[in-house]
Amino acid sequence: MPSLRSRPHSRLWSRLRTRAVATFGRRALAAVLYGVIALPLALVGFFLTLVGLAFGGALSVTTLGLWLLAVTVRGALALGALQRGLARRLLGLEIEQPSAGDGDGGKGVLGWRRGILLDRTGWRAVGCALLTPFTAVFAYVAVVIGYIYGALFTLHPLLKRWNYNTVHSTDGTTHPVSLEFFGYQLDSWPRWLIPFTAGLLLLAVAPLLLRYALGPHRALLTVLLGPDAATRRIRTLEETRARAVDDAAATLRRIERDLHDGTQARLVALAMHLTLIRELVTAGADPDRVLTAVETAQGNATQAITDLRHLVKGIHPPVLDEGLHAALTTLAADSALPVTLTTDIGTRPTPAVETIAYFCAAELLANATKHAHATSAAVDVTARDGLLRLCVTDDGQGGAKIGAGSGLTGLLARARTVDGTLTCDSPPGGPTVVTVELPHT
């Protein structure tokens, strides 16, 4: 019975501890530190950038003005690098390093100046320096209201002597007045509960308040200090092109190895046995020896055909010629798991997209059997309005994630070759849901 009575208390204590960690934990205090630092840093950057632009613009007809503008832009880039570092360390916000040097400046100091002034990344950093004070102020206010006022109100019973306000009377005398709430002075024991409760509430909601207050600031830093959409697109195309070339080279090496080590060896053995058969027949050998050689040659020929079919299937499954639905139906029937297949394919995708979707489904079903130890799986495919969506669900142990050399990384790379995406939702204990979206227009 005592253990039963202690359960509500233990749950209450657990909730209080969780709330305390959320409010005063390492991540929460790091966000508070960022909220305190961000506004002064933004104000300094705003003032220096504005002064540099003003003087540089006024003197832009001279060489000195151009140098002032170049130094201002370079300072904005340095400030942006500092802000990215602080956001990464204190907020866990990873902002990708933008590629510099959009302008062709040439060599020497004059080329450096020209390159800085023509660099879009630098001017985006200047825009960020001019706008960050207007977003950082929200985080600063959230820290003041949530943490500072929350702590002062909570500690009011201990800090009451410092929480008094000095009021000047009409006769020239002064006297202290305690905090007031709807005209009531909070100077006695029962009334202390009002600021104490308000302080606890402010501290409880302070992390959530700060998180929402940092939202505009995080978005501004991500948009202006990270690579722009065109740069991201170029990087994606470069990565997918490099992966496509690597995949093509790996496929060619695999085909060459399989042909050399498998099919070629069997065809050589077939030719040798055919030569042996001719010699046996010419020499009038025993029919049993001839039949044995014929059977061996026949087995080599059959195995060579099987190897060739397997090799061709690895390049392009012949069943895909009948459409993705037929290919997935065959794949589900051959799977070691019971697979529920649902398809809604209005417009037939392109052959390249069908091939990628087929191999993704095959790999995901193999992973569900081999790694997730699932007992059943479901494949759902829709192709509408120029978008093919493949969703594979299994009831396995979960814990799958993209990266760390997993097979999902290869599937993502394969999908990105046609500007597709792959997402994985796999909490520990399952289920695992992997969604592949492929455009085919």
Q: What is the pLDDT of residues 5-18, one digit of tens each?
A: 445 556 655 665 66
Judge contact between 41 and 78, C-beta under 8 A: no
In this structure, what are the phi and psi dihedrals at residue 222, rounded to the nearest 5 degrees?
Answer: -65, -40
Residues 296, 241, single domain; the answer is yes
Residues 50, 193, single domain; the answer is yes
Average pLDDT of span 150-168: 62
Q: How many domains does the chain have?
A: 3
Residues 362, 305, single domain; the answer is no
Place 131 in a pLDDT band, splitting at 50, 70 and 90. Answer: very high
Helix, strand, coil abundance in the chain, percent, nearest 5: 70, 10, 20
Q: Give the DSSP H or E segment for 439.
A: strand 432-439
CATH number, position 353: 3.30.565.10
Q: pLDDT tens digit string along 376-391?
A: 888 898 887 778 888 9
Most confident of the ranges 10-24, 107-121, 191-205, 399-413: 107-121
Q: Is residue 281 part of a domain?
A: yes
Place 313 in a pLDDT band, splitting at 50, 70 and 90. Answer: low
Residues 294, 402, single domain; the answer is no
What is the pLDDT, as a whole number, of residue 130? 92
CA dihedral 47, 53, 58, 59 (to 10 degrees): 120
What is the pLDDT, as a whole number, of residue 134? 93
Minimum mean pLDDT range among 126-130, 262-266, 361-365: 262-266
Q: Looking at 315, 342, 374, which one is the last position of a domain?
A: 315
Place 240 in a pLDDT band, splitting at 50, 70 and 90. Answer: low
Residues 98, 167, single domain; the answer is yes
Whole-number average pLDDT of the chain: 76
In this structure, what are the phi and psi dihedrals at residue 395, rounded to the nearest 5 degrees?
Answer: -100, 35
Residues 84, 159, single domain; the answer is yes
Burial class (CB in 10 A: 0-12, 13-18, 19+), 122: buried
Decide which of 233 and 379 is more confident.
379
Q: Is residue 419 part of a domain?
A: yes
Most confident of the ranges 53-57, 244-248, 370-374: 53-57
- In sequence order, the 6+-apart residues with CB closer than 8 A to the CB of 423 are 434, 435
Residues 56, 183, single domain; the answer is yes
Decide which of 232 and 293 is more confident.
293
Distance CA(198)–CA(351), nearest Å, equals 64
Q: Is residue 16 part of a domain?
A: no
Report angle CA 115, 117, 130 to the nearest 5 degrees: 135
Q: Is residue 2 part of a domain?
A: no
Distance CA(230)–CA(132), nearest Å, equals 23
What is the pLDDT, as a whole number, of residue 111? 77
Average pLDDT of span 125-137: 91
- Express as a percent the part of the chain with pLDDT over 70: 69
Distance CA(97)–CA(13), nearest Å, equals 44
What is the pLDDT, as a whole number, of residue 229? 65
Q: Is residue 9 part of a domain?
A: no
Is 44's pLDDT higher than 90? Answer: yes
Place 285 in a pLDDT band, splitting at 50, 70 and 90. Answer: confident
What is the pLDDT, as a whole number, of residue 17? 61
Most confident of the ranges 14-23, 104-113, 249-258, 348-357: 348-357
Q: Which domain holds residue 419?
A: 323-439
Q: Is residue 373 part of a domain?
A: yes
Place 48 in a pLDDT band, splitting at 50, 70 and 90. Answer: very high
Is 324's pLDDT higher than 60? Answer: yes
Q: Is residue 13 part of a domain?
A: no
Average pLDDT of span 369-374: 79
Average pLDDT of span 72-95: 88
Q: Is residue 83 part of a domain?
A: yes
Average pLDDT of span 88-103: 74
Q: Looking at 173, 201, 225, which one is the last position of a domain?
A: 225
Residues 144, 195, single domain; the answer is yes
Is 50's pLDDT higher than 80? Answer: yes
Q: pLDDT tens digit string along 163-219?
A: 554 444 455 544 444 555 444 555 556 656 666 777 778 888 888 888 899 999 999
Is 125's pLDDT higher than 80? Answer: yes
Dihedral of alpha carbons 14, 20, 26, 27, sign: positive
Residues 288, 429, single domain; the answer is no
Q: Looking at 295, 315, 335, which one is the last position of a domain?
A: 315
Residues 121, 220, single domain; the answer is yes
